[in-house]
A and B are shown apart, each in its own frame.
Chain A
Amino acid sequence: MAEELLTIDHLTKQYGENVILNDVSLTVHKGEVVVVVGSSGCGKSTLLRCINALESIQGGEICLQGEKIEQEGKNITALRQKIGMVFQCYELFPHLTVLNNILLAPVKVQKRREEEVKAEAFELLKRVGLEDKADSYPRQLSGGQKQRIAIVRALCMHPDILLFDEVTAALDPEMVREVLDVILELAEQGRTMIIVTHEMQFAKAVADRIIFIDDGKIIENSKPEQFFSHPETERAKQFLNMFEYKRK
């Protein structure tokens, strides 16, 4: 087995009395693609946000390569640079061109040379088929294009792990494909990723492991073949049945 990259140990997240994540433990190995599924509000997006310390946690700990991720920790900005995240709503900076969106953090935060990052940015833009959009503003792009740019922006930081939080949930059906294809390609390159999605066909294709969360708890953690054909729990069966359409 490859080395352990991210370890989540007995994580608890609550808002007041309201428990969102209840004693969640998960280990992600290098090069692994973990897909997190579950019904809306089960806590899967919150899990990703905790990994990036966008949410405070009330119990347990999260470590990236042995380094503890804490919201108020001194090294949190350094740790976040190793964790790329793409959100559901397009979060490109509207006042910057596509190219400057991508360059901002590598140049200003990581202090890398602009020409070097620029070359890399164009290389990546080409791979996602958007090299001609470098000088466009986000508002001139479609939703699918924006999400592909957001992925490029995350990649340019050279992260160790990528988090995708329902990146296609707000997209038109035709645009879902172009974004998911990019993520599939990343999986083939052996990137470590945690993906939250409602696209079950995509989950089946991309995942090394499926995590099923219900009511703040991980209740299944298995290979995709097994999860989709023989889910262990009743709850997972119910969940998967929702994606089947049959005439009564």
Chain B
Amino acid sequence: MEQYLPLYQKAAVLTIRLGILGIVFSILIGLICSFVLYYQIPIIKRIVAIYIEISRNTPLLVQLFFIYYGLPKIGIPTNAEICGIAGLSFLGGSYMTEAFRSGLEAVDKVQLESAESLGMNRFQTMRYVILPQAVSISIPAFMANVIFLLKETSVFSAISLMDLMFTAKDLIGLYYKTTESLFLLVVFYLIILLPISIIGSLLERRVRYAGFGD
């Protein structure tokens, strides 16, 4: 079994690298879209709503195929890694949007009014009053999304990215070592995801302490 370890390590690095990049872009998309929805910006909010529905109601595998096989057809050259990141961001963006939006909307309206009555402008109200509270409310949903997106990277094997899933399938195909390959697959996913899960619960406890009044 040891001889497979380097392969898994390499695959894990790829999974983490693409996963993190996808999550970073998901967060960016999520922030922008949640502000659009929160401030009810006309027309753009419609576009965001359509994006969210498409993104959440189609499987990542289908999204990846669309990007991987579709883009070259309309003349946009691409490679598997970029497709993987793009697909993950497309999916994650909508989930992050919902997480942040629910956080923003959960902040009591009287908070907004008391900030305004202190003479704060829109930006200051968001920066000092709404956002800090929204972030702490969003943390549980946010962490769940991070874990969900990292797990979704297993679909990358379908566009021949050599991630953990691909490596396991490859080894099964080559050497028929099904049990060992799958065992290592589970172990490596746990090595990646358990620490994140633990950090998540610690973070939740911390922000809960600082946040929420009565």
Contact = CB atoms under 8 A, between A and B. Distances in A.
Interface stretch (B115-123, B158-166, B172-180, B189-197): B115-123
B100 to A, nearest CB: 16
Given A89-B110, A91-B110, A93-B129, A104 B118 contact: yes
Interface residues of A, number: 30
Contacts of B94: none
Contact of A108 (B110, B113, B124): B124
Interface string A88-105: 011111110000000011
Interface in A61-113: 77-81, 83-85, 87, 89-95, 104-105, 108-110
A80 B116 contact: yes
A90 B108 CA distance: 11
Interface residues of B, number: 22
A53 to B, nearest CB: 8
A139 interface: yes
Interface string B100-133: 0000000000110111111111001000110011
A210 B110 CA distance: 27
Interface string B127-147: 011001100100000000000
Nearest to A97: B210
B203 to A, nearest CB: 15
Given A79-B119, A81-B119, 20 more contacts: A54-B116, A80-B117, A80-B118, A81-B118, A84-B117, A85-B117, A93-B111, A93-B133, A94-B133, A94-B212, A95-B133, A95-B210, A104-B129, A105-B120, A108-B120, A109-B118, A109-B119, A109-B120, A109-B124, A153-B118
19 contacts: A52-B116, A52-B117, A54-B113, A77-B119, A77-B121, A80-B118, A83-B117, A91-B114, A92-B213, A93-B111, A95-B133, A95-B210, A95-B211, A104-B118, A137-B210, A138-B214, A139-B212, A157-B118, A157-B119
